[in-house]
Amino acid sequence: MTLTTPGVTTEVQPYRWRWVALFVILAAEVMDLLDALVTTIAAPTIQHELGGSDSLVQWLGAGYTLAMAVGLVTGGRLGDLFGRKRMFLIGALGFTAASLLCGVSISPEMLVASRVLQGLFGALMIPQGMGMIKEMFPPNELGKAFGMFGPVMTISSVGGPVLAGWLIDADFFGTGWRMIFLINLPLGLAAALAGMRFLPEFRLSNATKLDLPGVVLLSSAAALLIYPLIQGRELGWPAWTFASIATSAALFALFGWYESRRARSGKDPLVTPSLFRKRAFTGGLVAGLAFFAGMIGLSLVFTLYTQMGLHYSPLKAGLTGLPQAIGGVIGFGLAMPLMAKLGRTLLQIGTVVMAAGAIVLGLTIQWAGLDVGPWQLAPGLALVGIGMGLTMAPFFDIVLAGVEPHEYGSASGSLPAIQQLGAALGTAVLGTIFFNLLKDDWGFGSAMRVTIWVEVGLLALTFALSYLLPRHARPDQPAH
């Protein structure tokens, strides 16, 4: 079935197979969430078995999230142009094929390249689901449909690292770490086959052409920033690494100029330029960049600390991180009834709680040394998780409250991209700091504590920038 919808929101008739289609979309979300988390646990084992330098550990996460960040900006637009069902199926099948390539990789370079492909196809797949849900469900069912994402994301975030550790330790059919990617094959194929049968086809009748020069500029700027941050340490920070970072800044500026020029000429830009003239939105982007960089970077370094420093098995490392994941669930649960009342204040409370948890974690590591056990680490991790949930719950809606209705589509597409770019940046920066300290003989405990203090600094920056945000989300704001 193919339905053509106008560019504005209109009342739609409920799609017959909408609940079955929702579960197809959720299956794709599970694949994306699991693959964003599993290499954090598996990275030390992959490096040991496949070879490669310490930068491989960083590229396994950064390659995926960087590709996802760039792809998300254009993924939704491709669905508008060529049909959401078609792009979802291409994304699901491509993601599955890239997972197979990851699972059979014979070199670090092949694995990282396959991770980048995963991120690109994931960025093509994920935005289509959100668009189809808004078209398939009547207004009175939208809240219930989007409410399904909470439990799915929660289960994936809690179970992802544990599943990765279990699969590696179980070593099914002698596959070891490769099974964390191969497990996507049945899930991806099932999602694609079910999608062919149950997903409807929607296409915007007034969709505009893709801004390809904007895509090239943005992709180049992001790559020229992340690459030297990861590789520079191992190469001794040659002059070209600093030149690359400077060129990245110039390309970001050129991107902003080009988008403004494109908008003035009447063409549809990749990102609406007027957004960057809004203090609340730009402050929210920088705050999100700092927050997600610290959150993902700290998770990577903590996993390296437990496996390389404390010599935990992958399964034990995954289980050690459970208090943070469970704390995140608790934080989200506490935030839900408080969001409308507290708004921005809830986000600020979350950053303070998260910083307090990080400090408790750092003090525990200092006092207990390398004899620290999972139960001793649990209180600090749980506080970090609770703060994370309290901060993330209102973040997107608060930032989007500062934009005009005609800018909402561009803004809501930019925020997930910033989340992924922050993850890539955090993996690059905090991972580089950690490995550099180890190289200078600081020891695992000292390197971990320094990384924690960097995270506390990023949370302080997030707290300060939050004062630029609106106090509350708009009551008429579309569900995000």
Query: Which helix (DSSP H) or strand (DSSP E) does residue 290 occupy?
Result: helix 279-304
Q: Do residues 189 and 290 both lie within one domain?
A: no
The pLDDT of residue 412 is 72
Q: Do residues 79 and 186 both lie within one domain?
A: yes
pLDDT (average), residues 386-395: 89
The verdict on residue 140 lying in a domain is yes
pLDDT (average), residues 178-192: 92
Q: What percentage of the chain exceeds 70 in pLDDT?
A: 92
Q: Is the pLDDT of residue 97 over 90?
A: yes
Q: Is the pLDDT of residue 311 over 50?
A: yes
The verdict on residue 367 lying in a domain is yes
Give the position of tokens 């935990």: 312
Mean pLDDT of the chain: 86
The verdict on residue 174 lying in a domain is yes
The verdict on residue 230 lying in a domain is no
Q: What percentage of the chain exceeds 90 in pLDDT?
A: 45
The pLDDT of residue 225 is 92
Q: Which two tokens stand for residue 421?
A: 């770019």
Range of the domain at 129: 1-208
Q: The CATH number of the domain where 327 resides is what?
A: 1.20.1250.20
Q: Is 441 left (phi over 0), alpha (psi -120 to 50) or beta?
A: left
Q: Which two tokens stand for residue 52?
A: 């490669």
| Highest mean pLDDT (candidates 139-143, 146-150, 206-210, 278-282) | 278-282
* Calpha distance 399→468 (Å, rounded): 9
Q: Is the pLDDT of residue 10 over 80?
A: no
The verdict on residue 162 lying in a domain is yes
pLDDT (average), residues 203-223: 80
- What are the CA-CA distances from residue 14 to residues 6, 19, 49, 135, 234 (Å)? 17, 10, 51, 8, 56
Q: How many CA atoms lie within 13 A of 189 on its CB side?
A: 7
- Domain boundary pick from 165, 192, 208: 208
pLDDT (average), residues 107-124: 94
Q: Is the pLDDT of residue 480 over 60?
A: no
pLDDT (average), residues 294-312: 92
The pLDDT of residue 339 is 83
The verdict on residue 91 lying in a domain is yes
Q: Which two tokens stand for residue 263?
A: 């908008």
The pLDDT of residue 471 is 83
- Least Cα distance to 49 among 98, 108, 96 occurs for 108
- Domain boundary pick from 184, 208, 232: 208
* Calpha distance 99→124 (Å, rounded): 15
Number of domains observed in the structure of the chain: 2
Q: Do residues 156 and 302 both lie within one domain?
A: no
Q: Is the pLDDT of residue 181 over 90?
A: yes
Q: Is the pLDDT of residue 7 over 50?
A: no
Structure confidence at residue 207 as a pLDDT band (50, 70, 90):
low
The pLDDT of residue 107 is 93
- Report the predicted TM-score, pTM, of the whole model to 2 decimal places: 0.86
209: exposed, middle or buried (Cβ count in 10 Å: 0-12, 13-18, 19+): exposed
* Calpha distance 233→245 (Å, rounded): 14
Q: Is the pLDDT of residue 2 over 80?
A: no
